[in-house]
A and B are shown apart, each in its own frame.
Chain A
Amino acid sequence: MAGSLAARDRRVVITGVGIVAPGGIGTKAFWDTLVEGRTSTRRITLFDASPFRCQIAAECDFDPQLEGLSPKEIRRMDRAAQFAVVAAREALSDSGLDTAGTDRSRMAVSIGNAVGNTMRIEQEYVAISDGGRDWLVDWRYAAPYSYQYLLPSSIVSEVAWASGAEGPAVAVSSGCTSGLDSVGHAVQLIEDGSADIVVAGATDAPLCPMSMACFDAIRATTPRNDAPESGCRPFHRERDGLVLGEGAAVFVCEEYEHAVRRGAQLRAEIIGYANRANAYHMTGLRPDGRELAEAIRAALDQARLDPSEIDYVNAHGSGTKQNDLHETVAVKRSLGQHAYNVPMSSIKSMVGHSLGAIGSIEIAACVMAIEHGVIPPTANLTDQDPACDLDYVPVTAREQDTGVVLSIGSGFGGFQTAIVIAEPGRGAR
Chain B
Amino acid sequence: MKAVITGLGVAAPNGIGTEAYWAATLAGQSGIGPITFFDATPYPVRLAGEVTGLSLAGYIPRKLRAQADHVTHLALAATMMALDDAGVDPAQQSAFDMGVIAANSSGGIMYGERGLQRLWSQGPAYVSAYMSIACFYAATAGQISIRHGMRGPCLILTSEQAGGVDAAGHARRQVRRGTPLVVTGGTDASLSPGGLASQIATRMLSPCPDPARAYVPFDAAASGYVLGIGGAMLLLESETNARQRGATRIYGELAGYAATFDPANGDGEPEGPAEPHDPPRGAGRFSRLGRAAELALADAQVAPEQVDVVFADAWGRAELDRAEAEAITGIFGPFGVPVTAPKSMTGRLYAAGGALDLITALLAMRDSVLPPTINVTSLAPGCDIDLVTGAPREKPVQTALVLARGLGGFNAAAVLTSVN
> Which A positions have Cβ atoms within 8 angstroms of B?
1-5, 51-53, 72, 76, 104-105, 109, 113-116, 121-122, 124-126, 128-129, 131-133, 135-139, 142-154, 156-158, 160-161, 164-175, 178, 181, 185, 188, 192, 209-210, 212-218, 220, 274-283, 291, 294, 411-415
Contact of B408 among A148, A167, A291 (CB under 8 A): A148
Q: Contact at B151–A170, with CB atoms within 8 Å? A: no
Q: Contact at A173–B155, with CB atoms within 8 Å? A: yes
Q: Contact at A132–B116, with CB atoms within 8 Å? A: yes
User: Smallest CB–CB gap between A1 and chain B, Å?
Assistant: 5
Please give me the 3 A-B residue pairs with the lowest Cβ-Cβ distance, nearest first.
A413-B142, A132-B120, A157-B408
Residues in B367-420 with C-beta less than 8 Å from chain A: 406-410
Distance of A158 Cα from B279 Cα, bound (Å): 9
Q: Which residues of B contact A136 (CB under 8 A)?
A: 38-39, 42, 193
Q: Contact at B159–A276, with CB atoms within 8 Å? A: no
Residues in B176-217 with C-beta less than 8 Å from chain A: 176-180, 190, 193-202
Residues in B109-164 with C-beta less than 8 Å from chain A: 109, 112-113, 115-124, 127-129, 131-133, 136-139, 141-143, 145-146, 148-160, 163
Q: Determine the residue in chain A with the shortest Cβ distance to B45.
A: A139
Contact of B138 among A52, A151, A415 (CB under 8 A): A415
Q: Contact at B408–A151, with CB atoms within 8 Å? A: yes
Q: Which of the segments B53-61, B99-107, B336-344 contacts the partner chain?
A: B99-107
Distance of A124 Cα from B112 Cα, bound (Å): 13
Q: Determine the residue in chain A with the shortest Cβ distance to B174.
A: A188
Q: Which residues of A contact B142 (CB under 8 A)?
A: 175, 277, 282, 412-415
Q: Which residues of A contact B38 (CB under 8 A)?
A: 135-136
B281 at the interface (CB under 8 A from A): yes
Contact of A132 among B97, B117, B190 (CB under 8 A): B117
Asked, given contacts A174-B154, A214-B132, A294-B96, whether A139 binds B120 with beta carbons under 8 Å apart, the answer is no
Q: Contact at A142–B198, with CB atoms within 8 Å? A: yes
- 28 A-B contact pairs sorted by A residue (CB < 8 Å): A72-B280, A115-B137, A129-B120, A135-B193, A142-B198, A147-B199, A148-B408, A150-B195, A153-B410, A156-B159, A157-B408, A157-B410, A161-B263, A167-B261, A168-B166, A170-B166, A171-B137, A173-B138, A181-B155, A216-B124, A217-B132, A275-B153, A276-B151, A282-B142, A282-B146, A412-B138, A415-B138, A415-B142
User: Smallest CB–CB gap between B184 and chain A, Å?
Assistant: 14
User: Smallest CB–CB gap between B327 and chain A, Å?
Assistant: 15
Q: Contact at A114–B131, with CB atoms within 8 Å? A: no
Q: Which residues of B contact A122 (CB under 8 A)?
A: 116
Q: Determine the residue in chain B with the shortest Cβ distance to A274.
A: B153
Q: Contact at A173–B124, with CB atoms within 8 Å? A: no
Q: Which residues of A contact B151 (CB under 8 A)?
A: 276-279, 291, 294
Distance of A116 Cα from B138 Cα, bound (Å): 11
Q: Which residues of B contact A116 (CB under 8 A)?
A: 107, 136-137
Q: Contact at B133–A283, with CB atoms within 8 Å? A: yes
B335 at the interface (CB under 8 A from A): no
Q: Contact at A173–B116, with CB atoms within 8 Å? A: no
B260 at the interface (CB under 8 A from A): yes
Distance of A122 Cα from B199 Cα, bound (Å): 16
Asked, given contacts A277-B150, A282-B133, whether A169 binds B124 with beta carbons under 8 Å apart, the answer is no
User: Smallest CB–CB gap between B96 and chain A, Å?
Assistant: 6
B173 at the interface (CB under 8 A from A): yes
Q: Contact at B131–A104, with CB atoms within 8 Å? A: no
Q: Which residues of A contact B261 (CB under 8 A)?
A: 109, 160, 165-169
Contact of A153 among B190, B280, B408 (CB under 8 A): B408
User: Smallest CB–CB gap between A285 and chain B, Å?
Assistant: 13
User: Smallest CB–CB gap between A365 and chain B, Å?
Assistant: 22
Interface size class of B (residues with CB under 8 A): 35 or more
B366 at the interface (CB under 8 A from A): no
Q: Which residues of A contact B148 (CB under 8 A)?
A: 279
User: Smallest CB–CB gap between B296 and chain A, Å?
Assistant: 12
Q: Determine the residue in chain A with the shortest Cβ distance to B128.
A: A217
Given contacts A132-B116, A217-B131, A291-B151, 7 further A-B contacts (CB under 8 A): A5-B176, A116-B136, A128-B194, A277-B150, A279-B148, A414-B145, A414-B154
Q: Which residues of B contact A210 (CB under 8 A)?
A: 115-116, 119, 127, 131
Q: Which residues of B contact A131 (CB under 8 A)?
A: 120-121
Q: Which residues of B contact A280 (CB under 8 A)?
A: 146
> Which B positions have Cβ atoms within 8 angstroms of A?
1, 38-39, 42-44, 67, 95-97, 99-100, 104-107, 109, 112-113, 115-124, 127-129, 131-133, 136-139, 141-143, 145-146, 148-160, 163, 166, 170, 173, 176-180, 190, 193-202, 258-264, 276-277, 279-281, 288, 291, 406-410
Q: Which residues of B contact A192 (CB under 8 A)?
A: 173, 176
User: Smallest CB–CB gap between B295 and chain A, Å?
Assistant: 9
Distance of A157 Cα from B162 Cα, bound (Å): 13
User: Smallest CB–CB gap between B258 and chain A, Å?
Assistant: 8
Q: Contact at B138–A114, with CB atoms within 8 Å? A: yes
Q: Which residues of B contact A125 (CB under 8 A)?
A: 113, 116, 120, 194
User: Smallest CB–CB gap between B114 and chain A, Å?
Assistant: 9
Q: Which residues of B contact A114 (CB under 8 A)?
A: 136-138
Distance of A112 Cα from B236 Cα, bound (Å): 24
Q: Contact at B150–A170, with CB atoms within 8 Å? A: no
Q: Which residues of A contact B138 (CB under 8 A)?
A: 114, 173-175, 178, 411-413, 415
Q: Contact at B152–A277, with CB atoms within 8 Å? A: yes
Q: Which residues of A contact B107 (CB under 8 A)?
A: 116, 150
Distance of A178 Cα from B190 Cα, bound (Å): 22
Q: Which residues of B contact A173 (CB under 8 A)?
A: 104, 136-138, 155-158
Q: Contact at B152–A276, with CB atoms within 8 Å? A: yes
Distance of A188 Cα from B124 Cα, bound (Å): 42
Q: Which residues of B contact A283 (CB under 8 A)?
A: 132-133
Q: Contact at B198–A152, with CB atoms within 8 Å? A: no
Q: Contact at A213–B127, with CB atoms within 8 Å? A: yes
User: Smallest CB–CB gap between B348 and chain A, Å?
Assistant: 13
Q: Contact at B259–A169, with CB atoms within 8 Å? A: yes
Distance of A102 Cα from B105 Cα, bound (Å): 30
Q: Contact at B129–A218, with CB atoms within 8 Å? A: yes
Distance of A215 Cα from B128 Cα, bound (Å): 10
Q: Which residues of B contact A143 (CB under 8 A)?
A: 201
Distance of A400 Cα from B155 Cα, bound (Å): 35
Distance of A164 Cα from B313 Cα, bound (Å): 24
Q: Which residues of B contact A294 (CB under 8 A)?
A: 96, 151
Asked, given contacts A109-B261, A281-B146, A282-B142, whether A135 binds B117 with beta carbons under 8 Å apart, the answer is yes
Q: Which residues of B contact A282 (CB under 8 A)?
A: 67, 133, 139, 142-143, 146
User: Smallest CB–CB gap between A232 and chain B, Å?
Assistant: 18
Distance of A2 Cα from B131 Cα, bound (Å): 39
Q: Contact at A76–B279, with CB atoms within 8 Å? A: yes
Q: Which residues of A contact B190 (CB under 8 A)?
A: 150
User: Smallest CB–CB gap between B191 and chain A, Å?
Assistant: 12
Q: Which residues of B contact A166 (CB under 8 A)?
A: 260-263, 288
Q: Which residues of B contact A105 (CB under 8 A)?
A: 260, 288, 291
Q: Determine the residue in chain A with the shortest Cβ distance to B263.
A: A166
Contact of B198 among A135, A146, A220 (CB under 8 A): A146
Q: Which residues of B contact A2 (CB under 8 A)?
A: 178
Q: Which residues of A contact B1 (CB under 8 A)?
A: 4
User: Smallest CB–CB gap between B409 and chain A, Å?
Assistant: 5
